[in-house]
């Protein structure tokens, strides 16, 4: 059995362990949103825009709006949005508490999801 000098094996193992958390954290996290979480909006039509810290797979990302009465509506994001963004128009929003529920697949294969509550006056 060939002997591997411990002095050369240990540093590379340590480097690998240190690198792992960074590699795993490339999944998509929201860096800015419109509407902002908790916002109160005056109009019944809004341009929804979610920006992420990494590129996302548009075809496998989902966006849903939950109305004040609990009804859910699937939104179809614009296909020509930038690679790190989801853009979609929402119209005829009745007054009350709404939820924007998003789920995205980032290019590293991880799914992340979240909920952005907002109010329409």
Residues that bind Cu ion (CB under 5 A): 26-27, 108, 110
Q: Which residue is nearest to Cu ion (CB)?
A: 27
Nearer to Cu ion among residue 46 and residue 104 (C-beta)? 104
Return the SS3 of 58: helix
3-class SS shares of the chain: helix, strand, coil, % to 5: 20, 40, 40
- Taking the complex as a whole, the smallest distance from the CB of residue 110 to Cu ion amounts, in Å, to 3
Q: Give dist(CA 18, CA 20) in Å, integer.
A: 6
Nearer to Cu ion among residue 27 and residue 58 (C-beta)? 27
Q: Give dist(CA 19, CA 8) in Å, integer.
A: 17
- Taking the complex as a whole, the smallest distance from the CB of residue 72 to Cu ion amounts, in Å, to 27
Return the SS3 of 59: helix
Nearer to Cu ion among residue 51 and residue 99 (C-beta)? 51
Nearer to Cu ion among residue 26 and residue 88 (C-beta)? 26
CA angle 98, 55, 51 (to 5 degrees): 35
- Taking the complex as a whole, the smallest distance from the CB of residue 29 to Cu ion amounts, in Å, to 9
- Taking the complex as a whole, the smallest distance from the CB of residue 56 to Cu ion amounts, in Å, to 11
């Amino acid at each position: 059995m060939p002997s591997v000098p411990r002095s050369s094996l240990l540093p590379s193992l340590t480097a690998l362990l240190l690198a792992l958390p960074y590699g795993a954290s490339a999944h998509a996290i929201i860096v800015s949103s419109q509407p902002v979480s908790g916002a109160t909006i005056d109009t019944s039509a809004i341009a929804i825009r979610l920006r992420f810290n990494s590129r996302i797979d548009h075809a496998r990302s989902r966006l849903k709006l939950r109305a004040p009465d609990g009804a859910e509506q699937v939104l179809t994001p614009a296909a020509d949005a930038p690679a790190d963004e989801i853009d979609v128009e929402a119209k005829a929003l009745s007054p009350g508490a709404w939820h924007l529920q998003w789920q995205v697949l980032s290019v590293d294969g991880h799914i992340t999801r979240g909920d952005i509550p907002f109010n329409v006056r």
